[in-house]
Chain A
Amino acid sequence: MSPGLSRRQLLAVLSSLGLAALSSPAARAQSASARLVVVGGGFGGATASRFLARLLPEASVTLVEASREYIACPFSNLVVAGYRDISAQTFEYKALQREGIRVVHARATAVDSAKRTVSLDSGSRLSYDRLILSPGIDLRWGALEGYTPKAAERMPHAWRAGLQTMLLREQLEAMPEGGTMLMSVTAAPFRCPPGPYERASLVASYLQRHNPRAKLIILDSNDSFSKQTLFQAAWREHYGNMIEWRSASEFGRVIRADANAMRLHTDFDSEVGDVINVVPPQQAGKIAQLAGAVDITGWCPIDATSFASTLVPDVHVIGDATIAAPMPKSAFSANQQAKVCAIQVARLLNGLAPEPTTLANTCYSYTTPESAISVSGVYTSADGQFSNVEGAGGVSPSGASAEFRRREGQQAADWFAAVTREAFL
């Protein structure tokens, strides 16, 4: 061994040369004592913790998550529209603790990638051999002029589930008869690409029953959106003219929010709303920024095979925080990336090179409380980045029967039950 080369560097070199097998005794010793820290207890982080603990039973796995409860975003649009209780969205970490995962309820405040430590707001510090960041999104307060945490109390985003979800629901219920709700949608990329349009659908369903003369205007910073043809057909079929969508090029782009006046300003005009929901500009969760794992886009570049950060050594990033396009920022993607990342981390700790594979995603969106549409994709991680597998994926058939749409609604419910069980229960 050359004196300037640590065992860890040698392992990296060997593994990059495909000679990892030679280092296996050392690698096995490393895997046995490995300290693995996961930051962020959402679909990505909870799933990653569990799979790391199963794949590497001798390693120590620590999950750092500030909240004692996780409130899930998927299905929270049903809560906004009054069709579901928030308790059905709420999950704890007890099952993870029972499996030997150390769950630390603290906020990660810094990452020292040279010393391989994570600092917590409790004052303690965790050492790691591999760090998995699954921090989700941060809202870029002020990136939309006037949209501050204070403004969000009058104009909820409800883009992180919890009190904001309930606030939007209460405002919808209190909306004057025949009133107007505005939705502002930020420019892509953002968490849950079809989410704003599912929300519009379910809000319209609520209004149709309780406030049928009300109107919903979507002011969009995009010119097209996920499952657009299917959504717009469903809107016409179920809600008549209740939903109006203004694209960016039809002057839908919101440039300023005035919470006191309950007014959204677009390039040449403005609209007043009785209820205003702002899906604001977003970026990777804060600890990813503090760790130096984000690039100029505000998101985390990764090697798609291993989910290793391309910016910080020994750090992997999964879920909404990553640049993984064409994989969307979805709970489905985060859950699956977590499993693949856990396997790749276990491979690395066992002296095996990460291996490219094929991943898939399906995002269901409800267009009525019972019926859903979906978009699927299949992706390869062959070249260090994700690419679509040709001929696969796509959206639900247009003109499908009501029974087909109801069946997709049931599939969505089955997915939510299965994925939350895999992550939390």
Chain B
Amino acid sequence: MRSTLALAFSLPWLAGCGGVAQAPADLDQAALLTASCSGCHAAGGEAIASLDGIPAGELEARLLAYRNDSDGGSAMHRMARGYNEAQIALIASTLGE
């Protein structure tokens, strides 16, 4: 993580003269959104899945399934309903392989 951040800072990250600064990856919206995930999803859980090694496409499909299953009562169903499709795509592409 440190090396990624150092690299991000060493590259020009201004998007044009009067433009908007491009945040390094660790400080962008994807990082903010996925801050909600790591407090539960660690390797080695019995009832909460580890996110290690899941392809991004599969992760997105699983999150959308949680979001769109109106009968689902788990905590993950209840939380997934709070995210729009763009947010879910961003989360999946950040955490997925």
| Given A57-B6, A346-B26, A378-B82, A336 contacting B36 (CB threshold 8 A) | yes
Which chain B residues border A70 with CB–CB below 8 Å? none
Of all chain A residues, which has the CB nearest B31? A343
Interface contact A350-B20, CB-CB below 8 Å: no
Interface contact B40-A392, CB-CB below 8 Å: no
From the candidates B39, B44, B46, B73, name the one contacting A410 in the complex (CB within 8 A): B46
Say how far B67's CB is from chain A's closest CB, in angstroms.
9
Which chain A residues border B45 with CB–CB below 8 Å? 414, 417-418
Binding-face segment, A19-27, A178-186, A283-291: A19-27
A83 within 8 A of B: no
Which chain B residues border A374 with CB–CB below 8 Å? 75
- List which A394-419 residues lie within 8 A (CB) of chain B: 394, 396-397, 400, 404, 407-408, 410-411, 413-415, 417-419
Which chain A residues border B29 with CB–CB below 8 Å? 355, 357
A352 within 8 A of B: yes
Interface contact B75-A376, CB-CB below 8 Å: yes
Interface residues on chain B, size class: 35 or more
| Given A340-B32, A343-B26, A352-B27, A360 contacting B44 (CB threshold 8 A) | no
Say how far A315's CB is from chain B's closest CB, in angstroms.
20
Residues of A within 8 Å of B, CB-based: how many? 54
Which chain A residues border B9 with CB–CB below 8 Å? 28, 350
Which chain A residues border B44 with CB–CB below 8 Å? 417
A191 within 8 A of B: no
Q: Residues of A at under 8 Å CB distance from B?
A: 18-22, 24, 28, 54-55, 57, 332, 335-336, 339-340, 343, 346-347, 350-352, 355, 357-360, 362, 364, 374, 376-379, 389, 391-394, 396-397, 400, 404, 407-408, 410-411, 413-415, 417-419, 421-422
| Given A340-B35, A394-B78, A400-B73, A21 contacting B47 (CB threshold 8 A) | no
| A-contact 0/1 string along B1-41, CB 8 Å cutoff | 11001100100011100111101101111011101101111
Given contacts A332-B39, A339-B39, A408-B74, 19 further A-B contacts (CB under 8 A): A21-B14, A21-B15, A21-B20, A57-B5, A346-B26, A357-B35, A358-B82, A360-B36, A362-B75, A362-B79, A378-B79, A389-B81, A389-B82, A391-B81, A392-B80, A393-B78, A396-B73, A410-B47, A414-B42
Which chain A residues border B79 with CB–CB below 8 Å? 360, 362, 376, 378, 392-393
Interface contact A57-B2, CB-CB below 8 Å: yes
B48 within 8 A of A: yes
Of all chain B residues, which has the CB nearest A353? B21
In whole angstroms, what is the CA distance A352 to B82 when docked? 26
Which chain B residues border A352 with CB–CB below 8 Å? 21, 23, 27
Interface contact A404-B73, CB-CB below 8 Å: yes
In whole angstroms, what is the CA distance A362 to B41 when docked? 13
